[in-house]
Structure 1
Amino acid sequence: MTVMAERTSRMTVEDFEQIASTAPETVTLEFIDGRIQEKCVPDGDHDTIIMWLQKRCMQHRPDLWLHATGRGVKVEAYRQGRARPDGVLAPDEHFLGHGEWSDPDGVLMTVEVTSHDGDTERRDRREKPAAYAAAGIPVHLLVDRDHCELVVHTNPAPEQGRYLEVHQIPFGAQVTLPDPVGITLDTEALKNYVR
């Protein structure tokens, strides 16, 4: 075991939060599955997808806000983690008065948009959905740019650290995000936001 691996395996959440608070603005850190991970800086297509989704959420559910500013979520049931989803859907003003890291209670949906890096398979497609399921978040939406599809995760089984239902919807189709979200998306526009 390397020195770095030994240090990481003994790191506490408090140690991580101290390191994350001193990281430069150009670096965003997460603590998932007991390891520190660097979150990639999003590109313009990534940002456009999040803005597109924010707009749809506001049109259909003005009582909810899709926070896309790096809102930190405690996903502690999954090895004392800290994640920064690309989007967090919650009732408006839900995070008022919260610090940097919020409990998942009240979060209706998390959103991730795949990055064009070698870590997307592990981070976006496996570890983060497992962390959000373990935290009991009702819906997780993955916008998978590599496969040109939405992956809708529902029915979390926190004790198993997974969602029991996973549906893959190709870009261009219509999808209804189930309650408590209750938003129908026409995903045709997403075809324009991939390389």
Structure 2
Amino acid sequence: MTPSTAEHPQMSVEDFEELARHAPETVTLEFINGKLEVKPVPDGDHVTIFMWLLRQCMQARPDLDLHPEQGLKVGAYRKGRAKPHGSLGPVGHFAGQGEWADPAGVLMVVEVTSHDSGTDRRDRVEKRDGYAEAGLPVYLLIDRDANTLVVHSDPRGNTYTQTVSHPYGATVQLPHPVNITLETEKLKDYAL
């Protein structure tokens, strides 16, 4: 049996979108690298970390919104579909774009890792590569397993050429075009 890849997907992107449209509200589906993915339901610390980041972004850049779970067209020739935990873009950027928006104009995507077996492959590899291929300038991974913030930037092809890891407690400067400084001491309260 041929493994699912972007060249040999499990289903068409149209079939995926139809399936996702009819999924229950308690299930979030993604289509990454030709495979159907079920995104885990976030726990309380996960949501609290996202709200911490939302407040920091809004205070530093009131001209931007951090949209939770906005679907984006990503990956090989935009045939993938991802719902990052956050997509940072200009205020009103996603108005009228529907469930699966074009990533053009998005400055940063954010993932907060979950404690499940698919996190390593999904958040640290497949989504990272899909976001780079879509040309998203910054990918911020808040890695709860390692208690770090990993900043990926400068996408070229399907890879980010710059990757910097910061421990919880560090002052993190998010690069252009985001230009936000994160004070991460509070994240230590949510560390395992």
CA distance in 2, matches of 1:165, 1:78: 22
The offset of 1:97, in angstroms, is 1.0
- Report the counterpart of residue 143 of structure 2 in structure 1: 144
CA distance in 1, matches of 2:73, 2:188: 32
- Report the counterpart of residue 64 of structure 1 in structure 2: 64
The amino acid that maps onto 2:184 is T
Contact kept, 8 Å, 1:82 with 1:101, in 2: the verdict is yes
The offset of 1:64, in angstroms, is 0.3
Contact kept, 8 Å, 1:78 with 1:131, in 2: the verdict is no
1:150-161 matches, within 5 Å, as 150-157=149-156, 159=157, 161=158
The offset of 1:10, in angstroms, is 4.9
Deviations 1:70-102 (A, max 9, x none): 210000436710000000000000011111000
The change in CA–CA distance for 1:170 and 1:179 in structure 2 (over 3 A counts) is same
Secondary structure, in 3 states, of the residue corresponding to 2:188?
A: helix
Deviations 1:96-141 (A, max 9, x none): 1111000000100000000000000000100111000000000000
TM-score (norm 1): 0.93
Identity of aligned residues (%): 60
Contact kept, 8 Å, 1:30 with 1:37, in 2: the verdict is yes
Deviations 1:9-54 (A, max 9, x none): 3511101000111111111100000000000000010000110000
- Report the counterpart of residue 117 of structure 1 in structure 2: 116
Unpaired runs of at least 5, structure 1: none
Contact kept, 8 Å, 2:110 with 2:140, in 1: the verdict is yes
* Equivalences, count: 190
Unpaired runs of at least 5, structure 2: none
CA distance in 1, matches of 2:187, 2:62: 22
CA distance in 1, matches of 2:80, 2:109: 15
- Report the counterpart of residue 182 of structure 1 in structure 2: 179
CA distance in 2, matches of 1:131, 1:155: 14
1:1-195 matches, within 5 Å, as 1=1, 9-68=9-68, 70-77=69-76, 80-157=79-156, 159=157, 161-195=158-192
The amino acid that maps onto 1:185 is L
Deviations 1:154-191 (A, max 9, x none): 0001x2x1100000000001010011100001110011
What RMSD, in angstroms, separates the aligned Cα atoms of the two structures?
A: 1.7
